[in-house]
Chains A and B, each alone.
Chain A
Amino acid sequence: MSIRTPLAHVRGLGAAKDGTHHWWMQRVTSVILVPLVLWFVISLLSVSRADYEAFQHWLSSPVNAGLLVALLTAMFYHASLGMQVIYEDYVRPEGAKVIAVLVTQLALFLLGAISIVAVLKIALA
């Protein structure tokens, strides 16, 4: 016998109130990140010691710039979801937890915005 109400069962949202959305988006971003990270590491090996012009030339390709923006978007989203879980598991009291999550997510959101603008500025220069 289930002690869950029929309505709760149908909604399927569980104790977190938002169902599997957080879990699912963490998986979606991780699946996207697997090929993007491999591409990024291989690319880094070719441009890590390059001078400015070579780096600019690499980013002037729409494919490279697009993949890098995709990587940054998925990466900061994934980081935000992951840090949230870490705080939820280890930080108490409740107020400190909420503040830690909010501050970190805001910081990651800003870092993501700055890095994407930086990429676009180089790519479109």
Chain B
Amino acid sequence: MSAKQRPLSPFMIGPYYRPQMTSILSITHRATGAGLVVGTLLMVYWLAAAALGPEAYEHAQTVLGSMLGQLFLFLWTWALFYHLANGIRHLFWDAGHGFELEKATQSGWAVVWSSIILTVLCWLIAAP
């Protein structure tokens, strides 16, 4: 097969490879990573507004406090906690721990639930 016609990842998922909980979590790690990169734009906007002075900062706070801003921040919070928790899961794998199928599934559910619980907890604390 020539190099040009090689299939691109993730061609295996779907026709050849049944989606599994662990593979879904794996691609979600990438998706949340890319999403967090988009989220950095918001963070730079917020910091730059603060550097420009009180008026720009107040305006940024209003924008972030709007419905759309809050929705985006909520998703950002979950993506951050998911990527953080699953990143720690990856670090344990890098150290050679938790590769057994049963353990990988358990740690996967731990990541899902901890990301949801931490997100809700944050927003309960932040609620005025």
Contact = CB atoms under 8 A, between A and B. Distances in A.
Contacts of B90: 30
B8 A92 contact: yes
B126 A111 contact: no
Contacts of A16: none
B126 A122 contact: no
A33 B8 CA distance: 31
A114 B47 CA distance: 9
B13 interface: no
Contacts of B33: 79, 82-83, 86
A49 B44 contact: no
Contacts of A31: 91
B12 interface: no
A27 B91 contact: yes
Interface residues of B, number: 33
A75 B51 CA distance: 20
Interface string B5-38: 0001100000000000000000000100110110
B51 A52 contact: no
Interface in A45-99: 45, 48-49, 51-53, 55-56, 59, 75-76, 79, 82-83, 86, 89-90, 92-93
A118 interface: yes
Interface in A100-125: 108, 111, 114-115, 117-119, 121-122
13 contacts: A27-B94, A33-B87, A37-B80, A41-B80, A52-B50, A76-B40, A79-B36, A79-B37, A82-B33, A86-B30, A89-B9, A108-B37, A119-B47
Interface of B: 4, 8-9, 30, 33-34, 36-37, 40-41, 43-44, 47-48, 50-51, 53-54, 57-58, 61, 77, 80, 84, 87-88, 90-91, 94, 122, 125-126, 128
